[in-house]
Structure 1
Amino acid sequence: MGPLIPNGVIPAEWDSIIAILIGIVFGFVLEASGFSSSRKLAGVFYGYDFAVLKVFFTAALVSLIGMYYMDYLGYVDITQMYVHPTYLWGAIVGGVIMGAGFVAGGFCPGTSLCAVAIGKIDAIVYVVGIMIGVFIFSELYFLFQPIYEGSFMGNVTLVDSFGVNPYWFIFIFTIVGILLFAISDKIRAKVKKIFY
């Protein structure tokens, strides 16, 4: 019954080692997929490349289906899964800032580190910008704290928010994913005709 470390299936000492191994594999997959290229990543905003949308949406969908299927089979107890607490205004403001940084720099924090690992100058500048932002946030935290900790909603999920059966939510999420993929392919085909 999972999770594996809290239930003693894997010793707690392996926690950091497993995290490092997952990080290395994740970085390798990002680089192999071309996600260390800011041009490829920014393509989703300009309509010429939707690989980012497709990969991350597929990852979310596969993990969601996988977790609930493992719960159904009795290998995982979904009620034991950690759900990060929701601070609504902090999430909205943080999302806007990260989105603006993504559009302006062409990277998200994870992909920027992947690009730094292979020596891309634009990614190095981007990561330096992230560090400056983290420093400013930490030094002026007393100013940002009301927003950061405001509108606490607890450990809620979309299933909780919509009040639907999780299996219906997974079904609807899958349909939305298929529709998004089809729409993104049509947009890409139109943009390709205009620019190529």
Structure 2
Amino acid sequence: MGPIIPNGLIPIEWDSIIAIFIGICFGFVLESSGFSSSRKLAGVFYGYDFAVLKVFFTAALVSVIGIYYMDYLGYLDIGQLYVHPTFLWGAIIGGAIMGVGFVAGGFCPGTSLCAVAIGKLDAWVYVLGILIGVFIFSELFTYIEPIYDGYFLGNITLMDSFGWNPYWVILIFSITAILAFAFADRVRKRVRKVFY
């Protein structure tokens, strides 16, 4: 990871302190937005609250547009960005386990820690479950390592895999986000009519 503040304005030794400050600000924003509430997060799956979907879709969209715009202007080299390696089976199985945990507990790992910070008991139970899961995973790792490392695809992106033009992907992603927002609003209104 490169320095958070470029050109030596602040010594690199301060990066950890700045990162902690950014984390505290992020947690404050999460809590202020109501994302430490398991009801708000579970609302996506039950159809009565799509704030999480909208926030994360918007964050992804703003990030990808900003990154490619900065690359276009020459302030950033996309080729130098780190792309996490893809292990297909690990991603599929891990995603399914996290999805079940998200629906059952109403938290993702980040929001659960935010809720722990303000003293929510259900979040404490959720985080305890995460720690137990991490312990079980580490104890069984030698047995499940072939699955964990299975079907390694390298450091790829969708654009690399299919040879797509990134600007078309961004346009399609933007249209998908708008359609998802419209669909989510229709579902929310329909669910409110049924239950309220």
Give the TM interval when normalised to the shorter protein. Answer: over 0.9
| 2:13 alignment counterpart | 13
1:137-186 CA-to-partner distances (Å, cap 9, x unmatched) read: 11111011111111100001121123211111101100000000000000
TM-score relative to the length of structure 1: 0.94
* Structure 1 position 19, deviation (Å): 2.1
Distance 2:178 2:4 in 1: 35
CA distance in 1, matches of 2:14, 2:175: 38
Q: How many residues align?
A: 194
Runs of 4+ in 1 over 3 A off after TM superposition: none
Residue 24 of structure 1, CA deviation: 1.1
Matching residue of 1:114: 114
Report the equivalent of 2:129: 129
**TM-score (ref. length: structure 2):** 0.94
Deviations 1:86-115 (A, max 9, x none): 000000000000000000000000000000
State the one-letter code of the partner of 1:80: Q
1:7 Cα deviation after fit: 10
**Aligned equivalent of 1:59:** 59
Letter in 1 for 2:103: V
- What SS does the corresponding residue of 1:140 show, helix, strand or coil? helix
Matched residues in 2 for 1:28 and 1:144: separation? 37
Identical positions, percent: 74
Aligned to 2:187: 187
Q: Deviations over 1:43-83 (max 9, x none)?
A: 00000000000000100000000011111111111111111
Q: Which residue of 2 aligns with 1:170?
A: 170
Is residue 89–residue 147 contact of structure 2 (8 Å, CA) maintained in 1? yes
Q: CA RMSD in A?
A: 1.6
Equivalent pair of 2:90/2:148 in contact (CA under 8 Å):
yes
Q: 1:6 to 1:126 in 2, by over 3 A?
A: closer
Separation (CA, whole Å) in 2 of partners of 1:186 and 1:59: 22
32-41 or 139-148, which deviates more: 139-148
Instruction: Give the 3 Å change call, closer, same or farther, for CA 7–125 of structure 1 in structure 2.
Output: closer
State the one-letter code of the partner of 1:180: A
1:89 aligns with 2:78: no
* Offset of residue 16 of structure 1: 1.8
Partner of 1:147 in structure 2? 147
After superposition, the Cα gap between the structure-2 partners of 1:104 and 1:5, relative to the gap in structure 1 and judged at 3 Å, is same
Distance 2:132 2:7 in 1: 40
Q: Return the alpha-carbon distance in structure 1 between the equivalents of residues 87 and 20 of structure 2.
A: 28
Letter in 2 for 1:72: Y
Deviates more, 1:15-24 or 1:77-86: 15-24
Task: Judge conservation of contact 2:3–2:15 (CA < 8 Å) in 1.
Answer: yes
Tell me how far apart the structure 2 counterparts of residues 7 and 157 of structure 1 sit (CA, whole Å): 27
Alignment check: 8 A CA contact 2:85 2:155 kept = yes
SS at match of 1:153: strand
